[in-house]
Structure 1
Amino acid sequence: MLLTREPVVNRNRAITANRLIAHATTVADVVAGLQQFEEEWPRQHPVFLSLGKLVPTPDLLEWSLPDNLMVEIPAPTLAHPKTQALLPQLQTAGISMCLSWFAPEAVLPADIDWRFVIMDQRKLPQPSGSPSLSLAWGLKDIEGFDAAIDNGYDGAAGWFFLKSNTPSKGMSPSHAQIVRLLNLVRSNADIADIEAVLKQDVALSYKLLRHINSAGFGLRCEIQSFRHAVTILGYNNLNKWLTVLLVTASKDPSAPALMQASIARGRMMEHIGAPFFEKADHDNLFITGAFSLLPSLLGTSLGDLLGEMSLPESITDALINEEGAYAPFLKLARAAERFDASTLQQLADDLTIDPQKVNAALLSGLQFADSLQA
């Protein structure tokens, strides 16, 4: 069983749920796989569970379903006896349901409360006849999302926000300041020099300390100052905190969704790549994944951005040329963001990584990214 994922966003492009697509031969295989991940399960938002091409059956109830789970029921399966048997059991258990691949001619069972309805916007430009809040799927880009919202959709599922026709622009002063800090930290500059930059921007200092003290990093004491952070963490670990700060600095409406995708990618790469690299490389794996979406986040080219930074060649090789030791792990993290799992399966096989380890890394990355938005 392999998992891939998509975000679910509302009209304002804010993350409202995470969508997991399970790729397996049977529902029982899905259950057996998911039962292993109570610790990694992302609980900050509701989680839609799509069974891919499988018919939902009562086998799903062999799993102790998480409180924030929402089971997807594809409209074409509503006539199947096993799906009909599952629906009242889910409702009795208090498990929310989402109707997917809805079409206006679908015959819906009575007394089922659908929380959301996923519709292929390519076939249904308007959410006609939707029995609940409608989510558009199959959008190409942000412009397509805006059109879907104008046509009556309540939100969307998918990665449309990674694509836009917005022209490239230069780096903003706030982003440039963070890049300056990153370069100082990476060059082991004196703490006094770094503090001098932070004192020029009180808001930046506050944001940095807030991220360092967030639940996602699991520190046992509260960091009170940058000097304290250096003492507790050291310069190498601060690279990760500043990376998080850079990818969360955008004011674009899509920034929260992009931020989640960036940090989840980075954490997944760090998690899945750990057995393959020395500990010193782990933060670089995280940075590679997080920075892979900087062009979308900051609205400027990756080449221009990396030209401003003093990054190791291993990171720039992966990001610019898709080459080097980190590149296969970046490709793996990107493949986990597709509805189809065939590429993910091939990449995992090439790296001889067990599918359940890929799933654990995906869920861990998502959990970590969501914890920073709490």
Structure 2
Amino acid sequence: MDNNVLRNIALSYSPMIDRQRSVVATRLTVSALRTGVPMQADQLLAAIAEVWPEGGARVSLNIMSETLLNDLLRATPLSNVMIEIPSFIACDPANTQALLSLRGTTLLLHGRPTSTLPRELLPCFKYSIIDLADDRRRNEVPGQAATRPARSVGFIQSGVRTVSEMEASFARGAVAILGWPIEDVVTQSGSRAGQPDLAVLVELIRRVDDGDDVDKLDAVLKRDPALAFQLMRYINSPAFGLSVEISSFRHAIMLLGYKRLKRWLALLLATASKDVNMRPVMYASVRRGLLMEQLIANTGDEEIRGEVFICGVFSLLDRLFNKPFHELLQTIPVPERVYQALVEGTGPYHPYLELTKAVETETAPVINELAEGLLMSLLEVNRAVLGTLTMAAQLE
């Protein structure tokens, strides 16, 4: 991953989510932050291939540098790499031949064309990405679509902010949406966000924190076999890096110890909701924990890595439980530095949490500013982002 292009860009990501609320691809936004620096697409593709190898999960590249995008149009991406082509580039006759040569690559037309798209290019695009604010059909009522001409290509909706907008987009035929209306999902879910089995996890975390013996912990977990299975699946995933398979909760405690086990209980707590609309929120929780851990990987000891992981994973618990942090953390024990970041917005972990949020929201200047505040280079941040996405793919 150590190549020149990663030194001069800011990477950010967001999920592409289908109507079943499953993450079908990751959108990777690439923003150039160093003007006048030549960047090569093959270096970017090499870094991406380490995260999304041939035949792996899909990634959609949103390239914010016209120079880098033009170079990418003349490269050979892997089959699972989708490239977003801004409509103004697609409509420029100077790019027609380059786009035609990419027929084996999945192209997404980004934005509504302001001029005529060459007819021969239409079959090159698998989907179009249409922002809700620019969608001329956003006010359609049920049944009205039948009176309009069918869309020539399927579409992915961006700019969705509420659950009702999301549902309306899918009703109009959207194959997916970009991003997720987290705040509105929580409002719509209400008390359904907290599931009864979450109480088992809270009790387990408290008992692990108190150092209860293995038999007591095992008895608590046996009250929910589904959670026990999920815990074993996480611990045995490639992301955990163990050389032997763990066959039982007792075995996990013996091999891992209480501190390492607590991080995986924290992960389960953030991913145990059965509400389908909470899936992308849980997706974000996992990635926040992994990214925060990756950001301090070279500077922190094992205890600090465990704490920042829990900080990131817990950073959306207020949404999942629909309760403020100061109330939630009265029942769930967390280290003091985690409490400072989540409740008070202070402490040594808070800047890392803010940087993690910036990576999610595709705000490149903010990413750069926060990285500088932490004395981190863009290369270090980008390597952490790609490492996070690699580990997240191993957990799914």
1:52 to 38, 48, 64: 64
**Shift in alpha-carbon separation, 1:17–1:270, aligned structure 2, 3 A:** same
How far, CA to CA, are the matches of 2:351 and 2:238 in structure 1?
Answer: 30
Q: Which amino acid aligns with 1:266?
A: G
Deviates more, 1:353-362 or 1:41-50: 41-50
1:294 aligns with 2:302: no
**Shift in alpha-carbon separation, 1:327–1:238, aligned structure 2, 3 A:** same
1:265 to 277, 288, 295: 288
**1:9/1:157 contact within 8 Å kept:** yes
Deviation at 1:53, TM superposition (A): 5.2
CA deviations on 1:91-124 (whole Å, 9 max, x unpaired) are 2xx2211111134864244153322210011121
Q: Which amino acid aligns with 2:27?
A: R
**Shift in alpha-carbon separation, 1:253–1:372, aligned structure 2, 3 A:** same
How far, CA to CA, are the matches of 1:141 and 1:27 in structure 2?
Answer: 39
For 1:209-228, what aligned pairs fall within 5 Å after superposition?
209-228=232-251
**1:171/1:300 contact within 8 Å kept:** no
How far, CA to CA, are the matches of 2:118 and 2:266 in structure 1?
Answer: 48
Identity of aligned residues (%): 31
TM-score w.r.t. the length of structure 2 is 0.86
**2:160/2:179 contact within 8 Å kept:** yes
How far, CA to CA, are the matches of 1:237 and 1:120 in structure 2?
Answer: 43
For 1:118-267, what aligned pairs fall within 5 Å after superposition?
118-124=129-135, 126=137, 130-164=151-185, 165-166=187-188, 168-169=190-191, 171-267=194-290
Matched pairs, number = 371
Gaps of 5+ in 2: 1-8, 139-148
Deviation at 1:153, TM superposition (A): 2.2
**1:270/1:285 contact within 8 Å kept:** yes
**Shift in alpha-carbon separation, 1:217–1:62, aligned structure 2, 3 A:** farther
1:7 to 6, 9, 15: 15
Aligned partner of residue 166 in structure 1, secondary structure? helix
How far, CA to CA, are the matches of 1:300 and 1:38 in structure 2?
Answer: 38
**Shift in alpha-carbon separation, 1:82–1:358, aligned structure 2, 3 A:** farther
Deviates more, 1:185-194 or 1:57-66: 57-66
Deviation at 1:67, TM superposition (A): 3.3
**Shift in alpha-carbon separation, 1:106–1:309, aligned structure 2, 3 A:** farther
**2:156/2:177 contact within 8 Å kept:** yes
The aligned residue for residue 99 of structure 2 is: 87
**Shift in alpha-carbon separation, 1:176–1:40, aligned structure 2, 3 A:** farther
Q: Which amino acid aligns with 1:143?
A: S
**Shift in alpha-carbon separation, 1:76–1:8, aligned structure 2, 3 A:** same
How far, CA to CA, are the matches of 1:257 and 1:148 in structure 2?
Answer: 17
Q: Which amino acid aligns with 1:113?
A: C
CA deviations on 1:267-321 (whole Å, 9 max, x unpaired) are 1100111233222110111111111112333443333322211111111111112
List structure 1 segments (4+ residues) > 4 angstroms apart after TM superposition: 25-28, 55-58, 61-64, 103-106
**Shift in alpha-carbon separation, 1:26–1:253, aligned structure 2, 3 A:** farther
**2:100/2:124 contact within 8 Å kept:** no
Aligned partner of residue 222 in structure 1, secondary structure? coil
The aligned residue for residue 343 of structure 2 is: 320
CA deviations on 1:46-78 (whole Å, 9 max, x unpaired) are 100011252675521676623311011111112
Gaps of 5+ in 1: none
How far, CA to CA, are the matches of 2:221 and 2:65 in structure 1?
Answer: 52
1:18 to 26, 32, 36: 26
